[in-house]
Amino acid sequence: MLVIIGLYIIFQVETKYTLGIILGLISAFLSAIFTLMNGKLIRDTAPSVISFYELLTGVVAISIYLAIMSFSSGGDEGFNLSFFTISSEDWWYLLILSSICTAYAFIAAVAVMKHLSPYTIMLTINLEPIYGIFLAFLIFGSKEQMNPQFYYGALLILSTVILNGFLKTKRKINKIS
């Protein structure tokens, strides 16, 4: 409930970002489903196998999207010859990005689920925008400053997350003793 109140406070003052907030909530919901599914799959399946099928699904989905965009726009967007024209230097960057920054990072993130709960993973993922906003403020200064109510809402959300972690740890300690 406290997180919803925090989001409400943010939403009330940052109305010009309504679409972004709604898309963020949809993204968080889909990310939660994705993480919960991975949490169940990791019990019986290797992280590399899970990641392979998830990344393959992403490639197929994006390919279908680009094909539809290509046909609907008369070939100006999506799949056409210029889309596939890549310099030899870019191939090396693509290889690095695809193997290390995507495949390895994705496999490692799935493997971590053997040791951390889906809840902890979701907290880490969904708090990234808040970390990003605070870092932007620290790096870029007042030109990236949000309304004070935004910070109150974000502080309420962070406090709720920290309090939840504290209470869970306290319950776990009480169960042990």
Q: What is the DSSP string of 137-157?
A: HHHHGGGGPPPHHHHHHHHHH
What's the mean pLDDT in 62-88?
Answer: 75
Mean pLDDT, range 108-120, rounded to an integer: 83
CA–CA gap between residue 69 and residue 78 (Å, rounded)? 6
Q: Is the pLDDT of residue 75 over 60?
A: no
For range 60-81, the mean pLDDT: 75
Reported as a single tens digit per residue, the pLDDT across 3-48 is 667 777 767 766 777 787 788 778 878 888 888 888 889 889 999 9
Dihedral through CA 88, CA 91, CA 96, CA 97, nearest 10?
Answer: 140
Average pLDDT over residues 85-97: 89
Q: What is the pLDDT of residues 40-52, one digit of tens each?
A: 898 899 999 999 9
| Dihedral sign (CA 27, 28, 31, 32) | negative
Q: How many helices (H) and strands (E) does the chain have?
A: 8, 0
Which residues have CB under 8 Å from 41's CB, separation 6+?
50
